[in-house]
Amino acid sequence: MLGAPGSGKGTQCKRIVTRYGLLHLSSGDILRQQRVEGTELGKTARTYMDSGALVPDQIIVEMMADAIMKAPDAGFVLDGFPRTVNQATELAKSLAAANQKIDVILNLQIDDQLVVERMAGRRSCPQCGAVYNIERFKPKVEGVCDNDGTKLIQRPDDSAEVVANRLETYHLQTEPVIDYYKKNSSTVYDIDANKDAEEVIALVFVKLDALARG
């Protein structure tokens, strides 16, 4: 799953893994978990993440290769990885080693202005990772997670200044990954992610159902 920050990758991936019985492998979630656990990896990643920069390729490639090796045969959805062309070429090697391949790439396309608006309203649960929006997807009780009652926070990297950096990083380093896959003759579906989440997931399910039918 490729797309800018705030394009809805995480939300769409959660729906996909439930429908098709896949594992959700989110590089951002794994990094945040490492930070909560206070590991060396988590500590190294913190400065990059909080400024909106990418964590160095070597760290990410090793982390994701490990996750892929441990993934069940039923398959998985990669969310937020690869984010550079170098990561994409290294991913190809990890997949070959695990006897896996990419079936399809979903590319969520969204306008920068909408990303800025969405991120300003985004609130997350630091405990379970659930994501809300103060305008569009409110929790039942204001400021509190529906799942576990934890106080919701604004992720440090969702502040306006960091979002601007994350968008710049996306355009410079991650957009070339889409061209890389298109040139590679991979199956890439461009999805209009300016629409509501429900409309987007309907488009995604149409594509994936057809793929699943073969």
Catalytic residue numbers, as ranges: 9, 83, 122, 155, 166
Q: Which of positions 65-94 make contact with ligand AMP (CB under 6 A)?
A: 80-83, 87
Among 2, 13, 55, 191, indicate the residue that binds ligand AMP (CB under 6 A). 55
**What distances in angstroms separate CA 214 from CA 31, 118, 182, one per listed residue?**
34, 36, 21
Cβ contact 14:121 at 8 Å: no
Among 4, 13, 25, 31, indicate the residue that binds ligand AMP (CB under 6 A). 31
Q: Does 3 bind ligand AMP (CB under 6 A)?
A: no
CB of 203 to ligand AMP, least distance (A): 21
In a 10 Å sphere around its CB, with 0-12 CB exposed, 13-18 middle and 19+ buried, how is residue 179 labelled?
exposed
Cβ contact 157:45 at 8 Å: no
Longest dimension (CA), the chain: 48
Among 7, 27, 94, 124, indicate the residue that binds ligand AMP (CB under 6 A). 27
Which residues contact ligand AMP (rule: CB under 6 A)? 5, 27-28, 31, 48-49, 52-55, 60, 80-83, 87, 157, 166
